[in-house]
Structure formats: C-alpha cells, structure tokens
C-alpha cells in the first residue's frame, strides 16, 4: 500500500502544530480520502496518535482504515470510542488526558450531535470549551489537534444549523476538496502552503 512520503508528511503536518485545526469537507467520499491521508501522514512520521472514533456510528469507518496502516504505527496509537454507560464528556476527557503527539477527531458533527442528545447546556458551548482546552495544550506542547467536520448538508450529519458555527471552535479552518486524482487543502493562514492550495495525490484507493 502506498503512503505519503516523509517529506510530504512534514510539509503538510508541520505548519499545523501548536494550533487546533478543523478540515472542512462536503461528502463522505472526501471524508474517507481525508482520513486515510491524515493517518498515512501520521503513520509515516511514526507519530503517537489518539483517535476519537465516532465512525462506528456515523460516516467513515476509522477502524477499517486503521487496519490498513503499518503495525508499528498502530501499536503506539490509541483508538477511543464512546463506551456503553459512559458519558460523552468522559470520553472527551479521556481524549484530552491521553499521552499522544497528535489527536484526530474523526467526525465533529457526530460529536456535536452526541453532546446535544444529553441536553443540559448547549452542545456547541461544551464542544467549544473542549476544543479550547485542546488548543491550549497544542500551544504548550506542539500537539497536533486535527478534527473533521462537514461544512454543508450534502453527505454530512447533522450539518443543518451548526454548519456556520462549528468551524469557529478551532484556530484554523482548512477547506478540503477531493478531486478525481488529488486532494486540495486551502487555508490562507498557512503561509508555507502554496497559494493555490496544498495538493496531494490520492494514495489510497476507495474500496467497495
């Protein structure tokens, strides 16, 4: 299986260190391609990673993607999901306290939905507080904080009224476009990326 090169992984990930990031996507196909590329970059750099997996309920299956990656990377990484009887806040606390160099939240729309299902105070406020903590930790230690969110209703769950406010909980918002043979990342605040976007080929072919 092809993986990104170390040089490409460095050029992509290094500018994201120390800031919280949300990658904005519009479809499940883009979600799959993005998740595979990010995990490929982390695997090439042997980055100790913790993944918060909501995809056992929604969208992309992180467990299947992870099984395709090098064993060395998987052995030093942690996959967290919501356990039966555990509150969603406790699951997020486990994510914050995990010993890792990178945090990947597979689907922030799903996280927001799960938080909202418990009522009490605003789910967006709780998610924003959680992301602020991650952002602070990122600034202190150079942690990679990477989240994925749908920016529109096409293929997303549950974008609707949250699509405008959700990206604002992060320091950086990266618009992600998946084309026939490449992924294009755009963020004007990342000066080291090309002005027309950071472009990478599709290293992983989608399986049916």
Contact assessment for residue 98 and residue 80, using Cβ atoms and an 8 Å cutoff: yes
Contact in structure between 66 and 76 (CB atoms under 8 Å): no
User: Do residues 19 and 171 lie in contact, with contact meaning Cβ atoms separated by under 8 Å?
Assistant: yes
Q: Is the pLDDT of residue 197 over 90?
A: yes
Q: Right CATH number for 22-201 from 3.60.15.10, 3.40.50.1240, 3.40.50.300, 3.40.50.920?
A: 3.40.50.300
How much is the pLDDT for 208? Answer: 35
How many residues are listed for the chain in this entry?
Answer: 208
Are the CB atoms for 38 and 47 separated by under 8 Å? no
pLDDT tier, 153 (very low <50, low <70, confident <90, very high otherwise): very low
pTM: 0.85
| Res 116: pLDDT | 78
Distance CA 169, CA 64 (A): 28
Tens of pLDDT along 105-147?
Answer: 988 988 888 887 755 558 888 888 889 999 999 999 999 999 9
**The 49-52 sheet, strands edge to edge:** 78-80, 49-52, 102-105, 144-150, 20-25, 172-178, 182-186, 198-201
- Cα–Cα distances (Å) from 1 to 31, 47, 83, 101, 109, in that order, read 19, 19, 32, 24, 30
From CA 144, how far away is CA 33, in angstroms rounded? Answer: 19
- Looking at the DSSP bridge assignments, the partners of residue 23 are 148, 174
Task: Check residue 157 and give its pLDDT.
Answer: 40
Which residue's structure tokens are 């490929």? 40
């Amino acid at each position: 299986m092809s993986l990104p090169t170390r040089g490409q992984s460095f050029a992509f990930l290094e500018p994201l260190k120390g800031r919280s990031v949300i990658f904005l996507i519009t479809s499940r196909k883009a979600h799959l391609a993005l998740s595979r590329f990010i995990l490929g970059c982390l695997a090439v750099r042997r980055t100790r990673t913790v993944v918060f997996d909501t995809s056992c309920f929604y969208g992309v299956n992180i467990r299947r993607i992870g099984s395709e990656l090098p064993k060395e990377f998987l052995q030093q990484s942690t996959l967290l999901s919501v356990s039966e009887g555990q509150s969603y806040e406790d699951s997020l606390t486990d994510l914050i306290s995990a010993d890792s160099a990178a945090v990947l939240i597979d689907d922030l729309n799903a996280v927001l939905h799960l938080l909202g299902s418990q009522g009490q105070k605003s789910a967006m406020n709780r998610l924003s507080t959680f992301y602020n903590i991650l952002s602070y930790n990122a600034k202190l230690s150079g942690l990679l904080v990477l989240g994925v969110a749908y920016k529109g209703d096409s293929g997303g769950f549950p974008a609707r009224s949250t699509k405008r406010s959700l990206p604002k909980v992060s320091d950086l918002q990266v618009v992600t476009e998946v084309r026939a043979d490449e992924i294009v990342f755009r963020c004007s605040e990342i000066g080291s990326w090309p002005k027309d976007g950071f472009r990478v080929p599709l290293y992983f072919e989608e399986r049916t």
